[in-house]
Chain A
Amino acid sequence: MSQSVLVEHDEDALAASQIQLATFEVGTVMMAIDIARVQEINRLMDVTPVPGASPMVHGVVNLRGDVVTVVNPHRILDVPESDTSRSGRNLILNIDGERIGVLVDKVADILTVQREQLSSPPSNVRSIDRRFIDSVYLQSNEVIIVLDPIGLLDSID
């Protein structure tokens, strides 16, 4: 019994030290989300606008029979929107059992990083509300902002 617990602990420790991030672009900003939150990545589907909804909501899509809300992070993060209809993707997150799409301009890569390499956001991060930022990761002089998806969605009014 004690042995199995130990092994589990080791695995936990191992998993806890690393994190996989899906990176993507929103406007010119490079961002990332813990891949455990990402259910799938789709091409931009036919989006139906929702009258009366917050401007931060891009619309809804049909995801295999489920009507899924798609949010527009440009609006939430106050990043100018760019015309990237070809490389644009819909990142489907699974948050507390609800599926939510996030409209991104380009999906870049999947990074495996050590947790200790993530640092808390510098106080001078501008144009982005600190509420959505989980941490910041530096990769060859490029800053990748790791989003806190729950914070991101909570900021939708």
Chain B
Amino acid sequence: MDQADLLNEFVEEATEHLSDIEIQLLQIEAMGEDVDDGLVNTVFRAIHSVKGAAGFLGLTQINELSHHLEDVLGRVREGKLTPDPYNVDVMLKSADRLKTLIDDVETSNASDNSELCEKLKAVLDGAGAKSDSAAAGNSAESQLDEVSHRIEEATAPEPPDEAQGDQAEHVLETNEDPAPAQAPAASNGTVTPARSSAKKTDDSGADSKATRRAPESTIRVGVRVLDRLMNLAGELVLSRNQLMQTLAAISLKEDATRQSSLDKIALGLDQVTTELQETIMQTRMQPIGNVFNKFPRVIRDLSASLGKEIQLKTEGNEVETDKTIVEAIADPLTHLIRNSCDHGIESPDVRTASGKDATGSVVLKAYHQAGKVMIEIIDDGAGMDPEKLRRKAVEKGVLSEEAAARMSDADAVNLIFAPGFSTAAAVTDVSGRGVGMDVVRTNIEKIGGSVEVTSKLGAGSTVSITLPLTLAIIPAMIVEVSGHRYALPQSSIAELVQTDGKEKCIQQINHAEVLKLRGKLLPLVRLREVLGLNPGEEGDFGNDHQLVVLETGRCRCALAVDRVIDSEEIVVKPLGRHLNELPMLAGSTILGDGHVAMILDASGVAIDAEAHDSAASMDDAALDGAASDLQRLVLISVSPNDHFAIPMDIVSRIERINRERVEMIGSQRLMQYRGGTLPLLNIEDVVEVTQVDDPDESFVIVFKVCGHEAGLQVPYLEDIRDCDLNGSLETLRQTGVAGVAIIGEHSTRMLDLYGLTEVARPEWFESMDSEEAQTARILVCEDSAFFRNFLTRVLAEQGHEVTACEHGEEGWATLSERPKDFDLLVTDVEMPELSGIELTKRVRADGRFQDLPVIALTSLADEDSRRVGKEAGVNDYQVKMNKPELLASIDKLTAKTTSGGTR
């Protein structure tokens, strides 16, 4: 099977190599002494690759013939052989024979090509003498000689298998020769067409032969032609629809016979059109085996490096799916297979101890099911322990303890797809730290697929991937806004919601609209505003909105539209080059009535909403409660209605004080603190609150800003605990507030202590402002959308030019694409795909970025991680929310590089 695949590949490649050789040889012939070296080289290389591959596959005859041909071409290349009609003819003949042999590659070894090889050898040997006679050989005599030679050749018996092969080809071959034979008599200019047309007939003969012997003949067709065909078929569908409608409208009841014959024609047209469209779709299909074929090697290498014995079995290589999907699934599959080998299959002694075969098995299986393509990766390894996963989820703060207890075993094993989850006891270089399984899921979802895992402890795991058959036709929801229709891919729609004003209602939280849905808050995005459209005639809809809840990867938001029209299967049409970079659009489609509708990209819309609308914005809201950034928060409140949170890592100390300890100097409050005075701030000085309680005892949260120590005085300290902010945090534009989240039962505002201090004590920031004249181009890598937005906002406010990336790989890609565009890299440490440390190492390893300053961000800057970071080449460590320190560090580092003149 594998050999056959290799053979097929060889045939395809060799055919491609040989496809132009005829014309090229003829050009070489026409050039004679002034032969173009480049052209000869091209031909030489083509034959050389055929020779090499044939030798590798044990195709002795093809190998030998191409070997001789290569020698002759080499001589031409060296200028020792002048191409002339005679030797070029031998070359052409050899090329033709090669084509014939390759078309019937399986029996090629049984053929006899010694005669041709002899001729090539003769050309080679007689290189000097022959070329002389050929140079003089425009005389009629030598041509006559040649003609007779050719005729002799044509009538010479064919190699045994071909002789018994088929008559038709034989005849064609005989036919072919007179043409070139007469050709030299005429001018050189006319040789080419005559000969090549003759060769063409020959080719078609060979083709028809191939059709009979090989399972299926193929031709290469440009994707563009196929797309065009697809478009035309789509148009035909539209025309058919219009025809059907018109026919239905025209009443021909009086003339029943005419009516029925028209109906028959329409029905026929209908069926043909449908079939045409399906057939054209098929042309985009590729066997999944194209991807599967690379895994034996992967497994072989992995087994060696892991010291395990693993056997790979693939099934369903012939299952076909859209070319784009086949290409997109390669990386996720590789990751999953590596994972199975690394985490799934046990080492041989463990396997033997548990009564298993020492050799583990991984089965890669593809099949069709219900109009979808299913891929399964089945290993007979250790399986996963749902209990262990539950514990780990709780440890990592992905789940609360009760939620974990409620979770079924089947759901528990799927926790591996949560960001930052690893199941290996030890970190290995094979599948890293489990980083990436979430990315695998994201990538599969990107192409409209889904993935899940089932596992039996001790018996193995099965990862099942469901993929759509095609990306060219996708199910979509058609919505209307201000009279325009747009298509939203179903894969990004979680649900449709009709607000009822009670459980499902739109609320305002500090100028930001949110949808309250089953106790959760979703940012509300008005599509009309995002798209910059004028309100339609319908005007205000009040609370009676139809909302589409979008969910893509890690974003979730509610989209307000005027009307949801229908769900439809749409054909995706690419947009022109002036429009294909627009982030909000995923393409376009032509609706049933011929109008073009834009396909919206859900995440693009969400991101745009963020930029457009300062109040409402989108954030990470992985529904499953998956967390990548766990924050230790100090939860405080000023009244039962006003809850706030502060990240613990910027708090230096918390003091409990009596009311009496607060002193007033002028309008400023302060207290005695460690032999000095501590200026005190209150949340209500800056942030709007409903009321402020004033109990006898209050709390002072001590923090440092711009070299000053300050205390935030709050009435109640509720709790200090780890919270997952990715689940529910919304950005909120309010001075002193970084965002709002539901923590416990309460809507809690996350304080931006530095922003707050800036308002309360502007004089502390003055010294900093003066230095801020300098702006830098900064690349920010941060996987948490909340911090990414926060950093982007904070840095942009300082006049820096910020480019934000979601993880290290993206950051690296951006950096390498535009190496000169950045003065500074600010990166989170813990990120999926590529951690900040790894990213820094990569940056340092690349000569272009050796002087690029790198600031690593962390929520917990302990000594160990600092050391690791320094070793990797990090210039500075900063705490995420520590705005002034971060800004100061940025100024320092960018000033250094500019004055250093390195860029």
Contact = CB atoms under 8 A, between A and B. Distances in A.
Contact of B585 (A46, A51, A98): A51
B597 interface: yes
B578 A69 contact: yes
Contact of B234 (A4, A49, A54, A65): A65
Central interface residue in B233, B533, B595, B598, by most chain A CB within 10 Å = B598
Contacts of A60: 575-576, 579, 588, 596
The number of chain A residues touching the other chain, given as a range, is 20 to 34
B508 interface: no
B577 A98 contact: yes
A60 B575 CA distance: 9
Contacts of A52: 531, 582-585, 608
Given A51-B584, A69-B578, A46 B598 contact: no
Contacts of A64: 231-232, 235
A69 B585 CA distance: 14
A60 B486 CA distance: 13
Nearest to B577: A98
Judged by DSSP, the binding face of B is: mixed
B234 A69 contact: no
Contacts of A48: 484, 588, 595-598
Contacts of B676: none
A46 to B, nearest CB: 6
Nearest to A100: B576
B796 interface: no
Contacts of A46: 594-596
B532 interface: yes
A53 interface: yes
A97 B224 CA distance: 10
Contacts of A62: 590, 594-596
A50 B232 contact: no
Contacts of B597: 48
Contacts of B246: none
B231 A53 contact: no
A66 B598 CA distance: 13
B579 A57 contact: yes
Interface string B547-584: 00000000000000000000000000111111100111
B188 interface: yes
Contacts of A13: none
B667 interface: no
Interface in B227-264: 228, 231-235, 238
A156 B580 CA distance: 13
B187 interface: yes
B900 interface: no
A98 B576 contact: yes
B585 A65 contact: no
Contacts of A97: 224
Most B CB contacts (10 A, CB to CB) among A46, A50, A97, A100 go to: A50
A68 interface: yes
Interface string B32-69: 00000000000000000000000000000000000000
A69 B189 contact: no
Contacts of A1: 187-189
Given A64-B232, A65-B235, A65-B590, A57 B578 contact: yes
Contacts of B573: 65-67
A61 interface: yes
Given A46-B594, A60-B579, 15 more contacts: A46-B595, A46-B596, A48-B484, A48-B595, A50-B575, A50-B579, A51-B582, A57-B579, A65-B231, A65-B235, A65-B238, A65-B573, A97-B224, A100-B576, A100-B578
Interface of A: 1, 4, 46, 48-54, 57, 60-62, 64-69, 71, 97-98, 100, 153, 156
Q: Which 6 A-B pairs have the closest CB atoms?
A: A65-B231, A69-B576, A65-B235, A51-B531, A1-B189, A48-B596
Interface of B: 187-189, 224, 228, 231-235, 238, 484, 530-533, 573-579, 582-585, 588, 590, 594-598, 608
6 contacts: A46-B594, A51-B584, A57-B578, A60-B588, A98-B577, A100-B576
